[in-house]
Amino acid sequence: MVTISATDRIEVHRTTSSAYERFAGVCAVLVGVLTLLYSISFIVLVNEPLSSFCLLANGLLASAVLVALYERLRSSEPSFALWALLLGLAGAVGSALHGGYDLAAVLHQHAPVDPNLPSAMDPRGLLTFGASGLALWVFAWLMLRSGQLAKPLGYLGYGVAALQIILYLGRLIIFDAKNPVIVVPALVAGFVATPIFFIWLGVSLWRGARA
């Protein structure tokens, strides 16, 4: 009978965690790039198939990043970390469903998407922006509390989370997409803050896995 010592089990766990963190790091960088591409395709190019695909892919990739964040930060506040993970996964799945629904509709002319109606999958960005923003706010707090990641990254996480929540509330209450209350946070989040945050997070996860 072959037995595995506690030291060996710890080493296997570290190797597995490191491999996953490298994977999640790559996913986080891709989320940052696709967020920028989504903003360009949605606002500048007005290319609905491309923006829908970016939203779909971002939701799937973000789910991997959220699991890595949970693993890294759960030691400081396990219950808050789990809550953030559940909220974040709900947001990621909502984003993927929203993008997948829009993509399926756009690719078939008999089922156009009416931008004036709330998405059946994600009304006014409840999951994509609301749940995701709240999850990121909690994760940012855990980053600063645990010291597992750079403090500036945690503060930037607060900023991205606030922008996402403002976007959700703006689309829910004000509705007019051309209103500055919606336009300014959308531009700052989509073109600057969110891409920088996820690319920075991805590099941090990759480097942490190699350490």
Tell me the per-residue pLDDT of 164-187, one tens digit each, with 9 for 90 and over. 999 999 988 887 778 888 899 999
CB-based contact 59:96 (threshold 8 Å): yes
Residues recorded for the chain: 211
Residue 112 lies in a domain: yes
Q: What percent of the chain has pLDDT over 70?
A: 84
CA–CA distance, 83 with 88 (Å, rounded to integer): 8
Across all residues in the chain, what is the average pLDDT? 87
Q: Note whether residue 6 is domain-resident.
A: no
pLDDT band at 8 (very low <50, low <70, confident <90, very high): very low
Tell me the CA distances in angstroms from 34 to 1, 57, 156, 185, one per residue in order. Answer: 50, 8, 19, 18
The answer to whether residue 3 is domain-embedded is: no
* Closest by Cα among 177, 148, 200, 208 to 33: 200
Residue 88 has pLDDT above 80, yes or no: yes
Work out the average pLDDT over 203-210: 83
Averaged pLDDT, 68-93: 96
pLDDT of residue 176: 76
What's residue 46's pLDDT? Answer: 87
pLDDT at 74 over 60: yes
Residue 173 near residue 107 (C-beta atoms within 8 A): no
Kindly state whether residue 116 falls inside one of the protein's structural domains. yes
Q: Which range of residues forms the domain containing residue 90?
A: 12-210
Average pLDDT on 54-74 reads 96
Give the three-class secondary structure for 189: helix
> Is there a domain that residue 188 lies in?
yes
Is the torsion defined by CA of 57, 50, 128, 139 positive or negative?
positive
Model confidence at 10, in pLDDT bands (50, 70, 90)? very low
- Residue at 4 is within a domain: no
158 or 116, greater pLDDT: 158
| 147 within some domain | yes
The tally of domains found in the chain comes to: 1
Residue closest to 113 by CA, chosen among 31, 46, 191: 46
Q: Report if residue 155 sits inside a domain.
A: yes
